[in-house]
Amino acid sequence: MSSESHAGHLSGPRTGTAASTAIPSQTRGATSHTGLERFNTAPAGAAEAALLACCGSRRWAQRLAAHRPYPTLDALLAAADEASYDLSAPDLDEALADEASAVPHPGIPAAALTALRAAHAAYESSFGHAFVISLDGYEADEHLNQVLAGIRSRLGNERDEERAVAADELRRLARTRLAHLVADATGAGAPDSPSVPV
């Protein structure tokens, strides 16, 4: 989980974020171009680097970059979902290894901070990767409770069951990060990382 914030998510890639890994300005062209157009016309290497900030699987990023151009955001998101469902076990391991626990929000009460750190440590010890969860649909003041409840609930999963849950949460996170990546805003005005500190 990243320390950068945007409503709805609580996980972030270690290597960067969709917002900080923008498509290079020289590929943006006129300001009338949409984010999707910039993504579609970016050099393959730049597109792959930006995609890796959405999901840490190189195969996932290469696949999405190779199938450009996408006619609509929905088409891109559908392709991202399909690529996520097709991740092999090593691809999923690579993507999950790229996720990192967030630095908790500075205003979090000490008892909540202790509980959160202990929950993350227990989860990572059990499953070998950071806890990933999409918090779409929850208000910011509900995030901490949802994370703690999610970790406690998922700690009871068998390893294979939890891999399936984590893969689906990662797919949802990648989808939202990707939507932010191709947002119509220019790089300077793009949304923050879709991660939320707790």
Q: 12 pairs with which residues across the strands?
A: 100
Highest mean pLDDT among 6-15, 22-31, 141-150, 175-184 belongs to 141-150
Ranges 14-23, 99-108, 188-197: which has the least confidence:
188-197
Residues 6+ apart with CB under 8 A from 51: 60, 61, 64, 65, 178, 181
Render pLDDT for 73-85 as a digit per residue (tens, 0 to 9). Answer: 999 999 999 999 9
pLDDT tops 50 at residue 194: no
Kindly provide the residue ranges of all beta strands, DSSP E only, lying in 110-198, ordered along the sequence: none
The 10 Å Cβ neighbour count of residue 72 is 9
Mean local confidence (pLDDT), 5-23: 44
The closest of 40, 36, 38 to 67, measured between CA atoms, is 40
Distance CA 198, CA 7 (A): 11
Mean local confidence (pLDDT), 105-125: 90
| pLDDT band at residue 119 using 50, 70 and 90 as cut-offs | very high
| pLDDT band at residue 29 using 50, 70 and 90 as cut-offs | very low
| pLDDT band at residue 33 using 50, 70 and 90 as cut-offs | low
Q: 9 pairs with which residues across the strands?
A: 134
